Amino acid sequence: MKTVLITGATDGIGKQTALQLARHGWRVLLHGRNSQRGEEVVGEILDEMPHAQVEYLNADLSSLNEVRQLARTVLALTPRLDALVNNAGGFFPQRQLSRDGLEMNFAVNHLAHFLLTNLLLGLLQSSAPARVVTVSSVIHRNARLNFEDLQLEQSYNGTRAYATSKLMNVLFAAELARRMEGKGVTSNSLHPGVVATKMLQSAFPSMQGGSPVDGAATSVYLVTSPDVEGVTGKYFENKQIAPHHPLADDPEACARLWEISARLAGVG
């Protein structure tokens, strides 16, 4: 049985991704930051599929220490990890700092997944072929990256901060693909579509969204489809390779973001 870890899987797109992968027969490690909600989702899956293997893991991704503990839990819980879905995300309209003193869009949407993925890379490689799937957004195409002000200390705008973090997702996925070339681990990013989630209502209250079921479709496709076996370093929309921000094709920019992230996350 293949095993997948999905971050932010207690609601919206993440929950639907967990449900669909459980239906595909995968063992699902379901992450969230509300244990009561997490156990409810586990119960929902087991009500539909009594023989499913699904476990809930609790962690607040705004804390690097909790990200490290999440990785330790995964390493103790499973001898293999066939896929990692970096799905969790947040939108913070006002500038807030995490417990580590980091801007929250940067901390939750980018750096937490950068750290988690790096801590699980050994397990992913030993489980090869394995896949890393990072949920970005089409809004990343409108973002710009100022390496002198990645956390928007000079001038903060919530939508810009969110878009910047989604651009970082795409650059991270591209650089991970380069670093994992020939090692049996693929890395792709995606836009799930405009989906009616709590985050959409918070970030863009006037915007109408589609179903979380549809929003999970590309993530599930990238985890399971034989059509993308060996495909890496791409950005997808509607299960198709789509144009991404040109910065993701700049090896120097991708490597620079990786190096800054590694320093802030304490990754060797």
CATH number for 62 = 3.40.50.720
State the pLDDT confidence band at 194, using cuts at 50, 70 and 90: confident
Per-residue model confidence (pLDDT) at position 55:
98
The number of CA neighbours under 13 Å toward the Cβ of 131 is 25
Total domains, the chain: 1
Residue 196 pLDDT more than 70?
Answer: no
CA-to-CA distance for 173 and 136, rounded, in angstroms? Answer: 10
Q: Is 56 a catalytic residue?
A: no
Residue 207 pLDDT more than 90?
Answer: no
CA-to-CA distance for 149 and 170, rounded, in angstroms? Answer: 18
| 3-state secondary structure at position 164 | helix
Q: For residue range 223-238, list pLDDT tens digits in order.
A: 999 999 999 999 999 9
Torsion region of 248: left, alpha or beta (phi above 0 gives left; psi -120 to 50 gives alpha): alpha
Q: Quick count: other Cβ atoms within 10 Å of Cβ 106?
A: 22
- Residue with token string 């094709």: 249
Per-residue model confidence (pLDDT) at position 212:
82
Residues counted in the chain = 268
Q: Is this model's pTM higher than 0.85 or not?
A: yes
Residue 200 pLDDT more than 80?
Answer: no
Per-residue model confidence (pLDDT) at position 204:
55
Lowest mean pLDDT among 146-150, 157-161, 190-194: 190-194
The one catalytic residue among 56, 156, 162, 221: 162
- Could you tell me the residue range of the domain that residue 22 belongs to? 3-265
State the pLDDT confidence band at 210, using cuts at 50, 70 and 90: confident
